Amino acid sequence: MNDEKEEEKLSLNVRIKNFSELYLAHHEISEDCKNHFFKIGPFYLCVGCTSVIAGIIIEGIILFSFLDFFNTNPIALALITSYGVSLALLQLLLKPKNKLIKIFMRFSLGFGMGTLLAIVVMIPNWYWKIGLFILLVLGTFLYNKVRRDFASDPCS
């Protein structure tokens, strides 16, 4: 009876590892690729995706906490968006190997994306909303395509 439970537990751990490696980490779980993922409990999470999503969420919290400031200073939103996009492009050029630098650059990308998303939500003109949303989607698609097509790292 205990052997069955141990085997079932082992099987669940293997299934969690396989699921998180395939869908959450996007990278081979190995020593060679350790700068590409985090391990939190039984889950492996992609450094880039996790950092971008954290940047979007934190930017949303900051934005809506200081909504009056951003409503009266729209140039701040444009500067934050430009900052995030600039660091994303810089990362494409530099391809840093250091995990902390990758986290910072991807977090900044998320911060900028969150700001652009907020601009899409806040802007009153519907055709600007549609145009900026299309720009956000196209930018995200192109960024990911460039990263995928020009990846020199076998773990990318």
> What's this model's pTM, rounded to 2 decimal places?
0.72
pLDDT score for 130: 92
Band (96; pLDDT cuts 50, 70, 90): confident
How confident is the model over 40-61, as a mean pLDDT?
Answer: 83
pLDDT of residue 27: 65
Binned at pLDDT 50, 70 and 90, residue 106 comes out as confident
Measured CA to CA in angstroms, residue 72 lies from 63, 75, 116, 122, 139 at distances of 12, 9, 16, 12, 27
Residue 114 has pLDDT above 80, yes or no: yes
> Where along the chain do its domains lie?
47-149
Calculate the average pLDDT of the chain: 79
Cα Dmax for the chain: 67
Q: Is the pLDDT of residue 152 over 80?
A: no
* Close Cβ partners of 85 (under 8 Å, ≥ 6 residues apart): 109, 112, 139
